[in-house]
Amino acid sequence: MVKLNENYQKLQGSYLFSQIAKKVNAYAAQNPDRTIIRLGIGDVTRPLTHSVISALHSAVDEMADEKTFRGYAPDLGYDFLRHAVCENDYRARGCNIYEDEIFISDGAKPDSGNIQEIFDDDNVVGVCDPVYPVYVDSNVMAGRCGDFDEKTGRYDRIVYMPCTAENGFVPELPQKRCDIIYLCFPNNPTGAVIRKEELQKWVDHANANGSVIIFDAAYEAYIKDPGVPHSIYECSGARECAIELHSFSKNAGFTGLRLGYAVVPKDLVRDGVSLNSLWARRHATKYNGAPYIVQRAGEAVYSEAGKAEIRALVDYYMENAAVILSGLKKAGYTVSGGTDSPYIWLKTPDDMSSWKFFDQLLENAGVVGTPGVGFGACGEGYFRLTAFGSHENTAKAVERICAL
Amino acid sequence: MVKLNENYQKLQGSYLFSQIAKKVNAYAAQNPDRTIIRLGIGDVTRPLTHSVISALHSAVDEMADEKTFRGYAPDLGYDFLRHAVCENDYRARGCNIYEDEIFISDGAKPDSGNIQEIFDDDNVVGVCDPVYPVYVDSNVMAGRCGDFDEKTGRYDRIVYMPCTAENGFVPELPQKRCDIIYLCFPNNPTGAVIRKEELQKWVDHANANGSVIIFDAAYEAYIKDPGVPHSIYECSGARECAIELHSFSKNAGFTGLRLGYAVVPKDLVRDGVSLNSLWARRHATKYNGAPYIVQRAGEAVYSEAGKAEIRALVDYYMENAAVILSGLKKAGYTVSGGTDSPYIWLKTPDDMSSWKFFDQLLENAGVVGTPGVGFGACGEGYFRLTAFGSHENTAKAVERICAL
């Protein structure tokens, strides 16, 4: 008889955001007249920009004509997009990355869930605590994480790297062996950033230990501080130890369009095997390319007009972040993040539990946020708000929270 | 130090179609004046239909307006598409399938590569020989297949079910234990179909043994014979043992648009665990939904106009199939498939090897096909041609082949 993947039974509850959606839907059904403001899930609300829309329409028209119709895309992405990514996100920043090291995909979430497949199941995984759940759950499914301990709220084979108020939500180098280290800066969920000299220490650590860093740069467009790197490849030696993941969701609003990319440098080699070739094989076998029309939309993000539109989008959301930050501070909350990141991380009042604060905020203010504990044990007593709402809703939400 | 997934080293050569593409590109570079006709990879050539194009443009316009903009799609697909699939592909055919058993994805290739994840690595996999390489390769990557034996051209832990001229390219029930059985009808690559009473035997076999059938129905739109089932759920008991995979690529020409779905019935339970819930969890954790605009395009396929357009598309390609079949028969080739399927399976002349015939056809006729041996040991001495070209190119290709 067929046996199922038993590792799935070790997953905790449902996927965090599905769980929140269920709670909110139940509340909405019971309170049909109440306007709910959603600052929970990191989903954008502004429409796609003019350049993107125009590129989509043109590409759709191409698909209507047999002379310009495109079937299967190249597995690893169209050259026009790999070129635009390489020039704009790397070469323009002085990073030594080549086009054939860029793998176009349908987003940073699938990439961050799938990337662990090219590693042996025996590796030890290190993650920040709190952490984006996909890094942990995808490794649990692969059997790398051991058992879940209800008391600690942790898996016994993962190395957790606490991100606390004490360390400014930037973890210390792990004391225990970590073969695969997940880092995300600007951080989801805390909104913390890492300075270049700090990130260099991680690169050096990984190179000294033969570890691989999975660096999630999904939020790099929000960085304003010039001392904060946009890419791990700004650090020397990163080509030998790091994979970087990117998204078009948070800068260009592609959450519903789906586009991202992974960078796997050819210098990243272990036991004589190139990780670039493994990831290429994974793509060729289990993926079939991002839609042509969406890749053309991605290309438009890098046009001069596209870049200006993206800057305006980011500025729009960062105005929200400023409103949330100043409002909460005035109301006496302890807050961080929100200056180089669309996420605001707040301490719940009176050491209230994260889920209790979630319920209170939903029921009394009609505002949806994300309970910090949903991202890990160190997130208990914290709460995440996002800057991705409209100006109007964000102002209203802050007003309601302050009136609590 | 990090260890890599060693199973990747057991993969044979590069992914078949990447290998063909390389050979063809090399030939094209050396023979810039030669027109190459590609009847190799199963990629379509006709443009998207009017209803689909129109749905895409409308959906793009929705994304440009903040009132109608859509961010993250539901993980499992929009209700409007799950509803259309359920009504048209199942309810209309008398199959007892429900909307929450349908999982929208970016295609049958990713689904057929990813579905093995929900099973234990210890299961024994059964595949047809010849077979679509993704079923095998995705299981090799997971470590289910043992070692590759150069002599037999087979993995020592896979159960191969020969599809030969003797059995009309429909395999006999396996004699050895198979926990997971992959079936694809109309078949890729042979173009063979399975009659309902034959398929019922497989369902009964799976239920008797606790096996799970992964039924790939990507080519069902090409079925004309009323005795040939479009879905495995036309067989009784299939809800307890079968997962079905579908594509919008071959009926509606979405190869470059990317859309498909998997059906995982709630009655499919092993050891008290629902496979529907495992696949839902996999989607929620590692996938982020198909693009809204593409799901609207999928919905348009099920409109009355859309259905008529799809029928015309399928008819167009089936005219090619008829031209290939009759031309090759006249030229003395032994051929099969091509009546309820877009694939024509031909025996190479004089027992020539598949790759030798590939080279000969490319060099002497400028026609690209797919070597049968690329699909498995039983494909040696066979060759696949597809009906997905234009009328003009298909006629020209047949002419060139007959002139050899």
DSSP classification of residue A158:
S
Q: Give the best residue of B18, B138, B181, B258 to mutate against chain A (max A CB count within 10 A).
A: B258
d(CA B265, CA A21): 24
Pick the CATH number of B53-303 from 3.40.640.10, 2.60.120.10, 3.30.70.980, 3.40.50.720: 3.40.640.10
Confidence of residue A404 (pLDDT cuts 50, 70, 90): confident
What is the percentage of chain B residues whose pLDDT exceeds 70?
A: 100
In chain B, what residues touch A5 (CB-CB under 8 Å)? 117-121, 278
DSSP classification of residue A71:
-
Q: Check pLDDT > 80 for residue A13.
A: no
Q: Check pLDDT > 90 for residue A227.
A: yes
Q: Check pLDDT > 80 for residue B125.
A: yes
Q: Which fold has domain A9-46+305-402?
A: Aspartate Aminotransferase, domain 1 (3.90.1150)
Q: Do B71 and A292 touch (CB under 8 A)?
A: no
Q: Do A60 and B72 touch (CB under 8 A)?
A: no
Q: Check pLDDT > 80 for residue B206.
A: yes
Helices (H), A335-385: 354-360
In chain B, what residues touch A138 (CB-CB under 8 Å)? 285-286
Structure tokens belonging to residue A273: 């095997």
Give me the CATH code for the A53-304 domain, please: 3.40.640.10
Q: Check pLDDT > 90 for residue B371.
A: yes
Per residue in B154-179, pLDDT (tens digit) is: 999 999 999 999 999 999 999 999 99
Q: Looking at residues A19-32, what average pLDDT do you find?
A: 91
Q: Check pLDDT > 90 for residue A17.
A: no
Structure tokens belonging to residue B348: 């190479």
Give me the CATH code for the B8-47+305-402 domain, please: 3.90.1150.10
First to last CA, chain B: 56
Q: Do B44 and A71 touch (CB under 8 A)?
A: yes
Q: Give the best residue of B4, B211, B391 to mutate against chain A (max A CB count within 10 A).
A: B4
Q: Do A114 and B46 touch (CB under 8 A)?
A: no
CB-defined contacts A:B, below 8 A? 250
Average pLDDT, rounded, for chain A: 96
What does the DSSP assignment read for A133-145?
HHHHHHHHHTT-S
Structure tokens belonging to residue A356: 């209790």
Q: Looking at residues A286-304, what average pLDDT do you find?
A: 98
Per residue in A321-366, pLDDT (tens digit) is: 999 999 999 999 999 999 999 999 999 999 999 999 999 999 999 9
Confidence of residue B19 (pLDDT cuts 50, 70, 90): confident
Answer positive or negative: Cα dihedral of A189, A195, A200, A202: negative
The identity of residue A164, as a single letter, is: T
* C-alpha distance from residue A329 to each of A17, A54, A361, A391, B400 (Å): 27, 41, 17, 18, 77
Q: Check pLDDT > 90 for residue A19.
A: no
What's the confidence (pLDDT) of residue B281?
A: 94
In chain B, what residues touch A117 (CB-CB under 8 Å)? 5, 141
Q: Give the best residue of B132, B288, B392 to mutate against chain A (max A CB count within 10 A).
A: B288
Q: Shortest Cα distance from B370 to chain A (angstroms)?
A: 16
Q: Looking at residues B279-292, what average pLDDT do you find?
A: 96
Q: Which of B4, B60, B255 sits opposite A119 (nearest CB)?
A: B4
What's the confidence (pLDDT) of residue A61?
A: 98
Per residue in A161-211, pLDDT (tens digit) is: 999 999 999 999 999 999 999 999 999 999 999 999 999 999 999 999 999
Q: Shortest Cα distance from A332 to chain B (angstroms)?
A: 33
CA geometry: angle A315, A49, A40, nearest 5 deg = 55
Structure tokens belonging to residue A258: 């789906």
Chain B residue closest to A115 (CA)? Answer: B286
Chain A residue closest to B253 (CA)? Answer: A71
DSSP classification of residue B381:
T
Answer positive or negative: Cα dihedral of B251, B298, A249, A182: negative
Q: Looking at residues A52-57, what average pLDDT do you find?
A: 98
Give the number of other Cβ atoms within 10 Å of residue B355's Cβ: 17
What's the confidence (pLDDT) of residue A21?
A: 87
User: Pseudo-torsion of CA B292, B294, B296, B297, nearest 10°?
Assistant: 170
Q: Check pLDDT > 90 for residue A41.
A: no
What's the confidence (pLDDT) of residue A16?
A: 79
Q: Do B288 and A258 touch (CB under 8 A)?
A: yes
Structure tokens belonging to residue B368: 């690209």
Equal fold, A9-46+305-402 vs A53-304: no
Q: Shortest Cα distance from A269 to chain B (angstroms)?
A: 10
Give the number of other Cβ atoms within 10 Å of residue B224's Cβ: 11
d(CA B287, CA B198): 35
Residue ranges per structural domain of chain B: 8-47+305-402, 53-303
Q: Do B18 and A210 touch (CB under 8 A)?
A: no
Give the number of other Cβ atoms within 10 Å of residue A286's Cβ: 23
More confident residue, A15 or A173: A173
CA-nearest of A266, A281, A208, A220 to A92 is A220
Per residue in B352-368, pLDDT (tens digit) is: 999 999 999 999 999 99
Average pLDDT, rounded, for chain B: 96
Chain B residue closest to A48 (CA)? Answer: B64
Strands (DSSP E) contained in A85-175 are: 102-105, 125-129, 148-149, 154-155, 159-162
Confidence of residue B42 (pLDDT cuts 50, 70, 90): confident
Q: Shortest Cα distance from B4 to chain A (angstroms)?
A: 4
Q: Do A72 and B212 touch (CB under 8 A)?
A: no
CA-nearest of A132, A119, A146 to A182 is A132
Q: Looking at residues B91-102, what average pLDDT do you find?
A: 97
In three-state secondary structure terms, B146 is coil
d(CA A180, CA A109): 17
Q: Looking at residues B265-273, what average pLDDT do you find?
A: 97
